[in-house]
Amino acid sequence: MARFAKSWPGILAGALLLPIVLGGCETNRATGEQSFTAFMSEEDEARVGAEENPKMLKEFGGAYSDAQLAAYVTSIGQRLTAVSEIPNQKFRFTVLNDKTVNAFALPGGYVYISRGLIALCEDEAELAGVIGHEIGHVSARHTAARYSSAMATNLGLTALGVVGSMLGVPSGVGNLASLGAQAALQGYSRTQEMEADRLGVRYMTRAGYDPHALKTFFSKLDANTRIEAKKEGRPADIFSVMSTHPRTAERIQQAAHLADTSTPKDAIIGRAPFLDRIDGIIFGDDPKQGFVRENDFIHPDLGFRFTFPPGMKIANTPSKVSAADSQGTAIIFDAEDPRVASGMPNLRDYLRSAWGAKLTLSGVEQITINGLDAATGQARANTSTGIRDIRLVAIRLDRDHIYRFTFVTPPQLSGRMSDALRRTTYSFRAMSKAEADGVLPPRIRVTTVRAGDTPVIFANSMPFGRFSDAWFHALNMNVLGDGLAVGEKVKIVTK
């Protein structure tokens, strides 16, 4: 009896789950195989996409302000969706103002391509391959499948909770929007990624594009991954674009096989029209979001700059700039909400009662940094990484803007790092309008090869120091394959 009693909840859960699983299986419209999507209907997909779209735009820098490029990307997307299994689905294609090489899709037909990825492409067919891949995720309902599998697993593991709410819906369904978006961005399986590649080749072929372009794009993706890894001092053998994507080598191999068996006659490559559209696109950080130049962080749009200690790895996101070294020192730079900042005239009070209210601050004092009012205080706290010394520095640039440094160090390194962090603090300064206006972003420029031009000459004209040669080859991999010829077009990056 005891053994039977212990197994009863699992048996009951299985009995409850079985009709849901059986009833929730459908023939996938894109692959023809069985797919379990019981917990996310197509109506749910449309709602999730609409609700998460503004969040994605905010998280990834918003839409890139180039109407012609946006129209061009949309035209490619519409050409591909017209030959997909869902030609009547309304898709929305957005070019993100994001320097990283990234692309993703939300359920309901929201497809995002970063300007960083577009800059890496060499022709229209390569861009079509990426867009086709994302359309494949939507067409095959991959988010619905991942979400439904997660819900089914949760249902099986929480049998008693399900039994207790048999007349309601499974716990967690109310979080459909956020979990659906998370599934889209972080939950695609390796099988689904490879499947989306196959669908992307299918749509490319039907639309008349050369499917070999997906292979050449993956080669560039691999080159980009290796450059970024060398810059950050980490291994290059990692998943590309997002952590859930299959390793690039696997995708290159599959893409090559599919292309060899499905290339249409007179296949479209579209190098010339593509290069025309991307001439002038920003490459790297947009000054409107601030950018990193060696150890400096410069934000001409907001009118300030400062310098990080040498040797730190720096990451710039829309909400903050962070830096860290291998010894455990970390710096976080961000800004207070202007509505809060305008109501905090005394920065010492701001540290004690607002920003640092959850810390036991000591040594709170008013200071001046390059003519700007500031305040600082310190504390010791038990963090997720252990005991850490924390110093807060708040700087008022004007009435509505308070900028903030959070310095975090292991206690045994606080004394050693004191001077370096102090230099970072006192490097913060306002920029004049003339200085800010003179900061121009690097841009992709398309230039014609002339007699005597070599890859070395082009690379030396680019602003990436020891990485300039690697970047020139990554950006022009196709045209360099058989050597440069006079009259050919190449991409370079100039300030």
State the CATH architecture for 289-437. Answer: 3-Layer(aba) Sandwich (3.40)
The pLDDT of 77-98, averaged and rounded, is 96
Distance (Å, whole) CA 9 – CA 259: 51
Q: Which two tokens stand for residue 354?
A: 């607002």
Distance (Å, whole) CA 212 – CA 263: 8
pLDDT at 179: 47
Distance (Å, whole) CA 298 – CA 293: 8
Q: Which two tokens stand for residue 138?
A: 């939507």
Distance (Å, whole) CA 306 – CA 374: 15
pLDDT at 24: 57
Kindly tell me if the per-residue pLDDT of 25 is higher than 80: no
Distance (Å, whole) CA 225 – CA 234: 10
The pLDDT of 354-370, averaged and rounded, is 95
Kindly tell me if the per-residue pLDDT of 46 is higher than 50: yes
Kindly tell me if the per-residue pLDDT of 256 is higher than 70: no
Distance (Å, whole) CA 256 – CA 216: 9
Confidence at 148, pLDDT banded by 50, 70, 90: low
Please classify residue 316 by burial: count the beta carbons closer than 10 Å to its beta carbon, then call 0-12 exposed, 13-18 middle and 19+ buried. middle
Confidence at 286, pLDDT banded by 50, 70, 90: confident
Distance (Å, whole) CA 134 – CA 117: 13
Q: In the predicted model, what is the mean pLDDT of the chain?
A: 84
Kindly tell me if the per-residue pLDDT of 39 is higher than 70: no
pLDDT at 230: 85
pLDDT at 16: 44
Strand ordering across the sheet containing 291-293: 291-293, 296-299, 304-307, 429-430
Locate tokens 């599998």: which residue?
149
Kindly tell me if the per-residue pLDDT of 21 is higher than 60: no
Kindly provide the residue ranges of all beta strands, DSSP E only, lying in 66-149, ordered along the sequence.
Answer: 92-96, 103-106, 110-114
pLDDT at 237: 57
Q: What is the DSSP string of 220-287?
A: HHHHHHHHHHHHHTS-S-S-SSSTTSPPHHHHHHHHHHHHHHHPPTT-B--HHHHHHHHTT-B-S--G
Superfamily of structural domain 443-494: LysM domain (3.10.350.10)
pLDDT at 257: 74
- Does residue 95 contact residue 73 with C-beta atoms inside 8 Å? yes
Confidence at 273, pLDDT banded by 50, 70, 90: very high
pLDDT, tens digit, 9 for 90 and up, residues 387-408? 999 999 999 999 999 999 999 9
Kindly tell me if the per-residue pLDDT of 238 is higher than 70: no
Residues whose CB falls within 8 Å of the CB of residue 69, separated by 6 or more in sequence, listed in order: 95, 115, 118, 277, 278, 281
Question: Between helices 271-278 and 67-81, what is the axis angle to 10°?
Answer: 140
Confidence at 42, pLDDT banded by 50, 70, 90: confident
pLDDT at 192: 83
pLDDT, tens digit, 9 for 90 and up, residues 420-470? 999 999 999 999 999 998 888 899 999 999 999 999 999 999 998 899 999
Residue 180's Cβ-side half-sphere holds a number of Cα atoms within 13 Å equal to 30
Locate tokens 């399986």: which residue?
189
Distance (Å, whole) CA 331 – CA 357: 19
Per-domain residue ranges of the chain: 34-278, 289-437, 443-494
The pLDDT of 32-45, averaged and rounded, is 71
Locate tokens 């050919």: which residue?
488
- Does residue 187 contact residue 146 with C-beta atoms inside 8 Å? yes
Kindly tell me if the per-residue pLDDT of 163 is higher than 50: no
Q: Which two tokens stand for residue 178?
A: 């956020």
pTM: 0.76
Confidence at 168, pLDDT banded by 50, 70, 90: very low
Q: What percent of the chain has pLDDT over 90?
A: 60
Q: Which two tokens stand for residue 37?
A: 């999507």
Please classify residue 226 by burial: count the beta carbons closer than 10 Å to its beta carbon, then call 0-12 exposed, 13-18 middle and 19+ buried. middle
Please classify residue 179 by burial: count the beta carbons closer than 10 Å to its beta carbon, then call 0-12 exposed, 13-18 middle and 19+ buried. buried
pLDDT at 127: 98
Locate tokens 């890894």: which residue?
229
DSSP element (H, E) containing 223: helix 212-232
Determine the Cα angle at 273 with ends 272 and 279, to 5°.
85
Residue 383's Cβ-side half-sphere holds a number of Cα atoms within 13 Å equal to 15
pLDDT, tens digit, 9 for 90 and up, residues 472-483? 999 999 999 999
Domains 289-437 and 443-494 in one fold: no
The pLDDT of 25-52, averaged and rounded, is 75
- φ/ψ region of 137 (left if φ > 0, alpha if ψ in -120 to 50, else beta) reads alpha
The pLDDT of 73-100, averaged and rounded, is 96
pLDDT, tens digit, 9 for 90 and up, residues 295-324? 999 999 999 999 999 989 898 887 899 999
pLDDT at 2: 38
Kindly tell me if the per-residue pLDDT of 10 is higher than 50: no
Confidence at 37, pLDDT banded by 50, 70, 90: low
pLDDT at 248: 59
Which has more confidence, 287 or 121?
121
pLDDT, tens digit, 9 for 90 and up, residues 203-212? 999 999 999 9
| Coil/strand/helix, residue 492 | strand
Entry field: residues in the chain = 495
Distance (Å, whole) CA 70 – CA 64: 8
